[in-house]
Each structure stands twice: as C-alpha cells, then as structure tokens.
Amino acid sequence: MSTRLFFACAITLIGALTLTAQSGTTAEGLKYTVLQAGTGPAPKMGQEVLIQVEGLDSTGKVEFSSRDLGYNIHFQLGKETDPISKARDILMTQMKKGSKYREELPFSLLPAEVPESKKSGYIVSIIEITDVMDAKPAACDLFVETAEKSGIAAAEAEFKALQKSNPKGYSFFEWDINAAGYKALEAKKVDVAIALLTLNNTMFSNSANTYDSLADAYAAKGDKEKAKANYLKAFQMNPKFTASKEKMEKL
C-alpha cells in the first residue's frame, strides 16, 4: 500500500515554531494540538523515528491507521528534501519520544495533483512518536544502487549477505523497503520493485501490507494472476485491507 502522498501532505509546517502551547495554528493555516507530551529523547536531524499515524476525515472517520494495518512508519529526519518533508521534520524535532499530537491540514494546501473536488475541509491526522534512534544506512538504498550498477541478481545477493554478516550495521525496516519499491515503480523500474518487494515479503511474511505492495508491483508488470493471489492473501490476513479486495476485483 502506497501512502507516500498522504504522509507527504499530512504534515505541513513551514518556518520555525515552538510547541510551548498545547495547541495553535501555523501561518499556513495548519491547526495542531499536542495530545500527549513525550518523556523520551527529542529526535534530532539525521536520526530516525518510528511513528504510528491515524488519518481522519473532517467528520472524524478513520480513513487510515498504520496500527490497524499492522506496521510502523519509519523514516530519517532530514533525508527527504521537499518542502513538506522538511516542515514535517522540523515538527518532529520539537517533539519527544512518546509525544502524540493532532493536526488539521486544509485541503487547499495540498499539491496540484490532488483533484479540486477534494480541496475542501481538512486532513486530520494523529501522530505518535514511538521510538527515536541513531541512523544506519538503509539496505534497500544500497540494493537500488547495486541494481543500477551491477544488476538485480547482484543486488539480491548483496542484500542477503548483509542480513547475515552485518544485520546491525544496516537498517532493514519494512516501511523503508516498501517505500523504495514504490519509488522504483514510479521510475518505471518494475523488475527492481518486484525484487525489493519480494525481499520485503520474505522478511515480513506476517505483514499483510507486504503482500498488497507486491501485488501492486505484479499488477504494474501485467502479471494479473500473481497480483490477484497477493491481493487475496493481503485481504485474508487483514480484512481491514479493503483496498486489496477492491484492486483484486478490478483486475
């Protein structure tokens, strides 16, 4: 499941802010409320965080829940350079491990690719910072580099070797590998995406999300049978993956 647009757009804080108050509104019209003050360390630029996110519509209906879907969202502060990601990272550094906060983002602030019909009301998100850690190089990034230089087979061999020989020296997060797979799909590198998402599925076979994502890659390849099989598996493992069922029925 690709949630890149949701997370790219759900947090928009441009410019400096301090969270001395429990709630406020940014200059861009984003409302925020600190629901729970964290007691752990504050993340710094260059560090990594694990978060849980609930996305609500303006009526309070849950549209997305990372916890319900069974995975943590992981990223490195400062790694992405687009304005929205930079703003999100600024906010994170104002928080602490254990912090939980609510945001109301006006649809009018969303990127141009969002349909005008959707640009009314708010995207409401509840974010909880569950862990803060020092950054490690992501094995999936190395996979992409090696696949580009030496081919997919070499990248797979290197990835598996690192799992055995240096598992603590590299990060192997489901979310990272999943995101790298979707980036490969966007770049029309479908075979690279399938290889990455297959590795992710092997490592995290208890995650319905890995089956759904692999199905998306097979669908992009035109392999309807494998796509259907993986969509079905995702839905069977977690009936909250209704999008998997819908995509399967459209093939």
Say if residue 229 is in the same domain as residue 246.
yes
Q: Which residue has the tokens 């983002």?
A: 105
What's 151's domain CATH number?
Answer: 1.25.40.10
Entry pTM:
0.76
Residue 62: the pLDDT is 82
Q: What is the mean pLDDT of the chain?
A: 84
Sign of the C-alpha dihedral computed for residues 144, 149, 155 and 161 taken in this order: negative
Residue 20: the pLDDT is 43
Residue 115: the pLDDT is 59
Of 133, 165, 180, at which residue does a domain stop?
133
Encode pLDDT of 103-138 as tens digits: 777 676 666 655 566 556 667 889 999 999 999 999
Encode pLDDT of 21-65 as tens digits: 588 776 556 677 899 989 999 999 999 999 999 988 767 778 888
Given a contact cutoff of 8 angstroms between Cβ atoms, the answer to whether 198 and 223 are in contact is no
Number of domains in the chain: 2
Residue 14: the pLDDT is 30
Residue 41: the pLDDT is 95
Say if residue 84 is in the same domain as residue 152.
no
Residue 216: the pLDDT is 97
Of 115, 133, 151, at which residue does a domain stop?
133
Say if residue 238 is in the same domain as residue 145.
yes
Assign 62 to helix, strand or coil: strand
Say if residue 14 is in the same domain as residue 116.
yes
Burial class (CB in 10 A: 0-12, 13-18, 19+), 15: exposed
Say if residue 88 is in the same domain as residue 57.
yes
Looking from the CA of 242 toward its CB, the CA atoms found within 13 Å total: 5
Q: Shortest CA distance to 55 belongs to which of 104, 116, 119?
A: 104
Say if residue 125 is in the same domain as residue 146.
no
Domain with 66 in it: 4-133
What's 129's domain CATH number?
Answer: 3.10.50.40
Of 133, 165, 182, at which residue does a domain stop?
133
DSSP assignment letter at 96 = -
Residue 15: the pLDDT is 31
Say if residue 160 is in the same domain as residue 85.
no
142-173 in b/e burial notation, b at 16+ Cβ within 10 A? ebbebbeeeebeebbebbeebeeeeeeebbbb
